[in-house]
Amino acid sequence: MSAKPPSGSPAPYDANRLAGELQASISRGELRPGEQLPTTASLAAQYGVNKNTVSKAISGLKAAGVLTGPAGGRTWVRVRPQQIKRHNLRYLREKSEVLLSDEDRAGYGVSEADSGVSVQDLHEDVYKYEVVSGPEDIRRILGVVDDSQLLRRTYTRRHAAKAGASCSTSYLPYALISQNPDLLDASREPWPGGTMHQLHTVGVELDRIEDHVVADMPTLEEQRLLDIPPAVPLLRVRKVSFAVSGEAVEVSDIPLPADRTELIYTTPLERWK
Quote the pLDDT of residue 11: 59
Q: Is residue 250 within 8 Å of 273, Cβ to Cβ?
A: no
| pTM (two decimals) | 0.88
Dihedral sign from CA coordinates of 37, 82, 195, 235: positive
Quote the pLDDT of residue 149: 97
Question: Residue 102 to residues 106, 202, 272: CA-CA distances in angstroms?
Answer: 6, 16, 38
Catalogue all structural domains in the chain, each as residue range(s) with its CATH number: 15-77 (1.10.10.10), 84-264 (3.40.1410.10)
Helix (H) or strand (E) holding 58: helix 51-63
Quote the pLDDT of residue 8: 52
Query: 3-class DSSP state for residue 273?
Result: coil
Quote the pLDDT of residue 144: 95
Residue closest to 34 by CA, chosen among 81, 71, 91, 73? 81
pLDDT in tens, 121-139: 889 999 999 999 999 999 9
User: What is the β-pairing status of strands 206-216 and 166-173?
Assistant: unpaired
Q: Is residue 61 within 8 Å of 19, Cβ to Cβ?
A: yes
What are 213-222's contacts with CB under 8 Å, separation 24+? 213/237, 213/238, 213/263, 214/238, 215/258, 218/255, 218/257, 222/255
Residue 72 has pLDDT above 80, yes or no: no
Residue closest to 34 by CA, chosen among 78, 80, 69? 78
Question: Residue 108 to residues 32, 57, 67, 227, 250: CA-CA distances in angstroms?
Answer: 32, 43, 33, 26, 20
Residue 10 has pLDDT above 60, yes or no: no
Residue 9 has pLDDT above 70, yes or no: no
pLDDT in tens, 185-229: 999 999 999 999 999 999 999 999 999 999 999 999 999 999 999
Residues 6+ apart with CB under 8 A from 253: 168, 169, 236, 237, 238, 239
